[in-house]
Copies of this chain bind each other. A is one copy, B any other.
Amino acid sequence: MNTQDTALVLIDLQKESNFGLQQFDHVIKHTKQTIDACRDADIPVIYTRQINRHDKIGLSKGEPLTSEGTPFYYSTEKDNHEIIDDVAPEENDLIIDKYRWSAFYESNLDLTLRSLGVKNIIVGGVVTDGCVMTTVFDAYFRDYKVHFVKDMCTTSNEGAHMASIMIMSNWIYNMEIYNTPNLIKRLKGESYKHWSFEHVDNQKFTPENMRNVFQTLSPEEE
C-alpha cells in the first residue's frame, strides 16, 4: 500500500446509523484514529451517505415506511442522514451520496477514485454485512485492493459480522484484514501485522467452529 494511491472510504457513518449496532462507540473511536492517521499521510478521506428521499422517489423496494408513508430510515426530511459529529468531514473531504447498499451503485465513487489515481482503499463503516460488504465486493470487481479494518466495522449481530468478514476473506482474493492499531502502524511506516490469504475459500466454518475460525483472522492480537 503506497499512501500516494490510497484512499480511506468510510461507509454510512451517519446519525441514523446509531440504531443499536454493536459496539458502535468503538467503531467511532477507531475511525477517528484512522482519519487522523490518514490526514497525516495525505490520504484522501471519502464518506458515503445512504440517502432516502422523503418523497420515496428512488427508494429501494420494501424499504420500511413511517405511519405517514415516508422512509423510516435515512430520510432527507430530518438531519439523520448527516455524518456523525465525532467523525464529521472537513472542508476538503469528499462525500458520496448513494441510494443503494453498495457505494458504487449509481454513485460517483468509481470516477472519484479513478480521478485520484487510487489503487488501494482502506474500508470501514456500517453495517459489516450490508453496505460495507456490498461495497467491498464492488471495489474488488473494479480491481481496487481492499484493506479492511475490522474494528472500524460493526452490525446489529455478532454472527453476521463474523460471517460476512469470513465470506469476504474467502472470495476477495487480494483483501487484507487489519485492526486499527496495526493499520495505523502501517500508515506510519512502522512494522505491523495483518491477515491475508494463502488459499482461496480458506475460512470454511460451521456454527460450531465459527468462533475459532474467526480467531484465525486476528494474528495481530496474539
List residues of A whose CB falls within 8 A of some B CB.
44, 55, 57-64, 73, 92, 94, 97, 99-102, 105-112, 114-116, 129-130, 133-134, 137-138, 140-143, 145, 156-160, 162-164, 166-167, 170-174, 197, 200-201, 203-211, 213
Which residues of the partner chain B approach A209 to less than 8 Å between Cβ atoms? 159
**CA A204 – CA B22 in complex, angstroms?**
12
Name the residue among A97, A105, A114 with the largest chain B CB count within 10 angstroms. Answer: A105
Top 9 closest pairs, chain A to chain B, by CB = A62-B173, A163-B163, A159-B205, A157-B204, A62-B174, A207-B210, A100-B141, A61-B174, A130-B171
Whether B99 contacts A111 by the Cβ 8 Å rule is yes
Q: How many copies, total?
A: 4
Partner of A160, one of B141, B142, B205: B205
Whether B61 contacts A157 by the Cβ 8 Å rule is no
Pick 28 A–B contacts, CB within 8 A, sort by A: A44-B57, A60-B143, A61-B145, A61-B173, A62-B197, A63-B173, A99-B108, A100-B111, A101-B141, A102-B138, A105-B111, A105-B138, A106-B109, A106-B141, A114-B143, A115-B143, A134-B134, A157-B204, A158-B205, A159-B205, A159-B213, A160-B166, A160-B170, A160-B203, A160-B204, A160-B205, A163-B167, A164-B167
Known: A60-B173, A62-B174, A129-B171. 15 other contacts (CB 8 A): A58-B108, A99-B111, A100-B140, A106-B107, A106-B111, A129-B167, A156-B201, A157-B205, A159-B206, A159-B207, A159-B210, A160-B167, A160-B205, A207-B208, A210-B210
**CA A94 – CA B54 in complex, angstroms?**
12
